[in-house]
Amino acid sequence: MTAITTSRVESIRPRWQAIVMVALIFWLSGSLIIDLLVMPSLYISGMMISPDFAAAGNLMFCGFNRVELICSGLVTTGLMVLSDLAGDFGKRSRTAIILSLVLLTIALIDTYGLTPQMSALGMQLNLFADAAEVPAGMNLLHQGYFVLEALKLAVGATLLGWCYQNQV
């Protein structure tokens, strides 16, 4: 009976490891594309001072934030399953689960904290007014967003490296 259990564990482990790695790669690459390509190009083109930018940004980030929540849920679930399959809930497994919960927290803060706040600050309610400057509070929110993005990329890369090395 232990041979069946051991072979089943050995067949399930690579699947969950692949799920975690694909979710992390998809999530981190999407974040890098938005942070390093999309947002700078919108900023350089002057779109960020357009009156419609807040609505367009809200739509784009609301969609991406939901994808982030799905990815963070997959990563957290996958790491919990992998740590359970390992049998010895070792120090690296506990650390990996804690780091995945940090990623989930970042996704929740982005989805339900920063994105709605930035959208609310950027919305122009007077359709007949000229384009306004970026509100002062927006810069502080952008700084907080980029700190969370840097933390997300560092934690995600660490988890990805651990999964690649089969050490989770």
| pTM reported for the whole predicted model | 0.85
How many percent of the chain have pLDDT more than 90?
A: 50
Q: Rounded to an integer, what distance in angstroms lies between the CA atom of residue 120 and that of residue 61? A: 13
Structural contact between residues 107 and 69, judged by C-beta atoms closer than 8 angstroms: yes
Can you give the pLDDT at residue 95?
93
Half-sphere exposure of 58 (CA within 13 A, CB side): 16
Tell me the domain boundaries of the chain: 2-164
Can you give the pLDDT at residue 89?
47
Regions in the chain scoring below 70 on pLDDT: 1-6, 9, 48, 51, 86-91, 124-135, 167-168
Structural contact between residues 100 and 79, judged by C-beta atoms closer than 8 angstroms: yes
Q: What are phi and psi of 64, to 5 degrees?
A: -65, -35
Average predicted confidence (pLDDT) for the chain:
85
List the one residue out of 1, 6, 2 whose CA is nearest residue 86: 6
